[in-house]
Structures are given as C-alpha cells and as structure tokens.
Amino acid sequence: MDVTAGALPTLRALARQVMRERHLLPDFSAAALRQVQTIRGAAAPQPDEPVRDLRDLLWASIDNDDSRDLDQLSAATALADGGTRLLVAVADVDALVAAGSAVDEHARVNTTSVYTVAETFTMLPERLSTDLTSLAEHQERLAIIVEMNVGADGVVGNSDVYRARVVNRAKLAYAGVAAWLEGTAPAPARLAAVPGLEQGLRLQDEAAQRLRRVRHLHGALTLTTIEARAVFEGELLRDLRPDEKNRAKELIEDLMIAANAVTARFLAARRLPALRRVLRAPQRWSRIVSLAATLQESLPATPDARALNELLIRRRQADPEGFPDLCLSIVKLLGRGEYVLEMPGQTVPGHFGLAVQDYTHATAPNRRFPDLITQRLIKSALSGCEPPYAAEQLRSLAAHCTLQEDNAAKVERQVRKSAAALLLAARIGERFEAIVTGASDKGTWVRILAPTTEGRLVKGFEGLEVGERVAVRLVHTDVSRGFIDFARVA
C-alpha cells in the first residue's frame, strides 16, 4: 500500500466497513434527514412551562479544541460557609428529538457517537448536535440544570434538578484552561474577555479538587492511560501522539461525576426507574492480585478499591513512566462498565472504579443515548407525568446500550490500530524501544512511543513480564486487520 497519499480516504472506507460489521449505522436514514430539515431553530420554552431564566450566570464550556457538540456548561458561586454552589447545564436534546422519531430511532440503534481516527459518526445529525442542540457560544439554549452545594469538606449537600434557559459566555478548550490553572500560561483570550469568569472557574477548580479528594478517600481509582491522537497533514496521516489528562479535563470529569450522582439520587427520591451506570467488583481480582505480586506489592484476597488505589498511588511515584501501562493492564482486568435498570426500592451495584454507589449517565445527551433516556425520565419527574418508558423497555435498552457501546469501542480501537499499521507500513525492519503491556496465554503485547501504538511480540517473548523494557524490530503490518507485529532484538 502507498502510504504517501490517500491515507484518510483509506481509513474512512475502513471505518465505515467496520461500523457495518459491528451492527452500527454509518449513515442517517432519509427519514431522519428529512426530519432535521423541518426544524426551524433551537427549542424555546412554551409559555406555560416552568423554565427558569439563568442567562445572566457566567456559564462556560470546556471541551476539545475542535468540539462543537457541546453537551455541558458549568458555573459556580461562593457560599458563605466556605462551600461552593456548582451548577451544571446539560443540553436539552429531548426538546428537539422526540422519542420514537426517525432521528431518535437512529440514536437508539447506535446509542453513541463513534469517534474514529478517520471520521466521527455522530449519534445525532450535525445540524442538531453541533448547532441546534449544542450549548453553542453566545447562543440561548434550553438546558437541564443540576445544582449542588459542595461543602468545604468536599461533601455534596443540598441539590436540585430543574429546567432553565442559559447562554454560553465562552467556549474554552482543555489545553488552554489547564495551562492557565497550572500557572504556565495566561488566561485564554475568551476567558479573559468575560469579567468575573476567571474567578468562577477558580471556584469550579477548587470544588472539583475537593470532590476528587473525597472520592479517593472512598476508594476511587487513580488511573492514567495513554490515548493516541491522530495528527493529519491534509489527508496524510503523519503521527499518533499521546493525548494525556490535564487539570481542565479532571475538572470537567469531577463535575460530571458529581452531576451524574445527583441525577441518580434525584430519580430515586421520586421513585422513578432509571438506567444506572455500574462497574461491578472485578471477577478477575485474583489476576490483579497476581499482577501486584510481580511488583512486590500485596492486595487483599477479595476486591478492595481503597487498597488498589493506594497501590496505584505508590506505583505512580515509584515508576511514573511505566504507570500508564500498569493502569491499562488493570483497566482490562476490571472489566467494562454496563447499564442496568434500577426500579424504585431496588439497589443495584455501584461503580467500583469511581467509588460511587448512586451513578447514572445524564450529562452527554448529544453523544450518548442513555443520557437522552435519563433526560426524558427527569422531565417526567419534573412534570409529574408517567415515565416515558415501561420497565421492560428500559431493561432491554440497558442491555442494548451496553452492547452497542462495546461495539463502538471495538470500532474505534480497530480503526486506531489500522491507522497505526498504515503509519508504520513503510518502516518494516526498524528498531524501536518498547515496554511490555500484556503477557498471557493469548499473546505478548508491547507499546512503542513514536508513534504511540501497541503491537504483538511474535518472536522472543518468552519469559517477559508486564512493565519490562525491551528493544524490538518491526516485522509485519496489515492495515485492513490492524495488525502490527514485532520481534525482540537480542
């Protein structure tokens, strides 16, 4: 294959093929596109609807540089007791996407936006997700508000959920906000242009750190994994570079975890069914214990999130370079999250990794169908109407959303591997420094850093353990299958 031209078209064709193989729709139906054409503008509240006016608050979004499907805004004010009043605004997607409509049916089938290296397959048509249902900068929008008081001790006190009108004062990006928060760069221009917003974001950051400390005290896991970000020059793939966490990403993550927990409790208090997001205690805990033993660490015989997190903190200090690979191994052993139905009066498992008992997905309805389902349940609670879904519908949707989320992850991983194989196709025979990321009966895997990618060690893998550094030589690539094979250099 010629890798000097046409890389993006090659990957796009592959992505669409893998979407179909994984029972995901790469294109919207004609009916869905016709539905979008009939929508004249963003949703507005009806005269008799109880919708608050919060347009005067200093709302802002923080997302990736190129994101336009903005699901959340956040704002904060200081409380007299040293706490913080946090507000999260979530795009009111349901106001324009009616349950059972053609657009809703596409979203129900895919259940999520699929972010491949080559192309993003949005759950909703872009005229909605990046415009009319996006919390776009300087645009008035309807939103679901999650309000919570975070005490000086990091504990969430009084909270509420309601509808409101909002305006995004500044569309900010993770990198710029993180550098400003960490003191390595001035405030981004859009942030500095809004009087009072810098103080508001400082309050959000302080509250987020308090929330995070409390979760870690309860056993939330300190995990850092390396995600590869594609770098294109026109349509030519040039590199795969690590896209790492930063303080702004952690800020948003902490606020969304808190908002999702408040939403779960809100629905439970009103005795409504809900889709809970759970991560069960790991069935392969003994494998995690064995992995810890190879690092001269010990863990209890039964799953213990707090003990595991203490180990992670020690390993991050002892071996920062190898820490992301240890985290990746543990993530694989923890298993995948899932959606389950919780009926009134029932108790389902919590989220082992987040150390949260009450948890749902509610903060990304432009990108995830479970969040749109939750939004409709919230609205039924606020209006006093019957839930829009029967229990058996919700049970079936929970299983379907779990399945399709897994399929979407496999599509993203497959295309990422194919991109890496394409990038390396002309480098057969080259030597790389690598770290062992997996060693089992199924094979031995290594990661190289330039470009950031994993491959299988097909020769010289005997006796290697996770975390060992080795020199390897690239011996084979297969773009269509995403295969990258290395041999150990003696």
Domain contains 366: no
Give residue 483's identity as a one-letter amino acid code. Answer: F
Instruction: Please state at what angle helix 323-334 crosses helix 305-318, rounded to 10 degrees.
Output: 160
Rounded to a whole number of angstroms, the CA Rg of the chain reads 23
**What does DSSP assign to residue 187?**
P
Least confident of 426-430, 431-435, 465-469: 465-469
Give residue 150's identity as a one-letter amino acid code. Answer: V
- The whole-chain average pLDDT of the chain stands at 93
Answer whether 19's CB lies under 8 Å from 25's CB. yes
Give residue 53's identity as a one-letter amino acid code. Answer: D
Q: Distance between CA atoms of 337 and 152, rounded to whole angstroms?
A: 31
Q: Is the pLDDT of residue 39 over 50?
A: yes
94 and 25 assigned to the same domain: yes
Domain boundary, last residue among 270, 303, 320: 270
CA torsion 91-349-220-200 (nearest 10°) is: 20
147 and 173 assigned to the same domain: yes
Domain contains 216: yes
Domain contains 351: no
Please write the tens of the pLDDT for every residue from 292-318.
998 899 999 999 999 999 999 999 999
Answer whether 394's CB lies under 8 Å from 202's CB. no
Answer whether 194's CB lies under 8 Å from 170's CB. yes
Domain boundary, last residue among 270, 298, 319: 270
* Lookup result for tokens 């509240």: 45
- CATH number of the domain within which 467 lies: 2.40.50.140
117 and 250 assigned to the same domain: yes
Element of type H or E holding 158: strand 156-173
Domain contains 418: no
59 and 108 assigned to the same domain: yes
Domain boundary, last residue among 219, 242, 270: 270
160 and 300 assigned to the same domain: no
- The proportion of the chain whose per-residue pLDDT surpasses 70, expressed as a percent, equals 99
> Across residues 237-253, what is the average pLDDT?
87
What's the domain range around 133?
A: 7-270
45 and 145 assigned to the same domain: yes
Domain contains 134: yes
Domain total of the chain: 3
52 and 76 assigned to the same domain: yes
> Across residues 463-473, what is the average pLDDT?
86
Domain contains 72: yes
330 and 255 assigned to the same domain: no
CA angle centred on 151, ends 145 and 153, rounded to 5°:
140
258 and 313 assigned to the same domain: no
Domain contains 388: no
Please write the tens of the pLDDT for every residue from 190-240.
999 999 999 999 999 999 999 999 999 999 999 988 777 777 777 778 888
DSSP string of 301-361?
Answer: SS--HHHHHHHHHHHHHH-TTTHHHHHHHHHHHH---EEEEE-TT-----BTTTTBSS-B-
Please write the tens of the pLDDT for every residue from 70-121.
999 999 999 999 999 999 999 999 999 999 999 999 999 999 999 998 999 9
Q: Distance between CA atoms of 248 and 236, rounded to whole angstroms?
A: 30
Please write the tens of the pLDDT for every residue from 156-170.
999 999 999 999 999
Domain contains 344: no
